[in-house]
Amino acid sequence: NTTTPAQQFHVIRRQLKRDFRKPLVCFTPKKLLRYPSCVSKITDFTKTNFQEVIDDNKADAKKITRVAFCSGKVYYDLIERREKEGAEDIAFVRLEQLYPFPQKQVDAIVKKYSKAKEHLFVQEEPENMGPWRFVDKCMRSLNLKYVGREEAASPATGFAKRHAAENEEIMTTIF
């Protein structure tokens, strides 16, 4: 569930360069195609590789009391809201690869933010959809708290106002 153009490039490149073939499933919403914050530098394409987990580069480990793991475009909503609220006590960590689960990278992040008292998983999808249940199983030792929409039969409400209200409820819960 990549969040930058360079990450998408590297995941496709990695898929083609491997000497074995497995299906590649990419979840990328159209919103990120024209989102102003969703950009990559040329060096991100040429000097780096695919990162299974992306740490929060604006978080000061000494100030962090909460770590929120997320995947996909909800990350951009979260960082925009953090800027607006001026919150410095929460780090947003992106899980770019869900399977196989990048346990070593996640363990390194948890160790880095050892002062954190609360670990969250934020998703935009309803609780019974999206990666929440899988991630919770993989990170059981952290006692993750779920922040997202209630269970639903459909992945979307179908009403823009209801969707915005649910999104605001997620942000209010976090901030």
**Chunked in runs of 10, what are the mean pLDDT values of the chain (175 residues)?**
94 92 83 89 96 96 97 94 96 95 97 97 95 97 96 89 94 96
Look at residue 32 in the predicted model and tell me its pLDDT.
Answer: 87
Look at residue 11 in the predicted model and tell me its pLDDT.
Answer: 94
Look at residue 29 in the predicted model and tell me its pLDDT.
Answer: 80
Residue of 40, 111, 38 whose CA lies nearest to 75: 38
Look at residue 156 in the predicted model and tell me its pLDDT.
Answer: 83
Residue of 61, 143, 56, 147 whose CA lies nearest to 95: 56
Cβ–Cβ under 8 Å, residues 109 and 55: yes
Mark 145-157 as b/e (b = at least 16 C-beta within 10 Å): eebbbeeeeeeee
What's the pTM?
0.93
What are the distances in angstroms from CA 71 to CA 4, 16, 148?
A: 12, 23, 12
Rounded to whole angstroms, the Cα distance separating 54 from 57 reads 9
Rounded to whole angstroms, the Cα distance separating 32 from 168 reads 19
For residue 122, list its beta bridge partners: 70, 147
Look at residue 31 in the predicted model and tell me its pLDDT.
Answer: 83
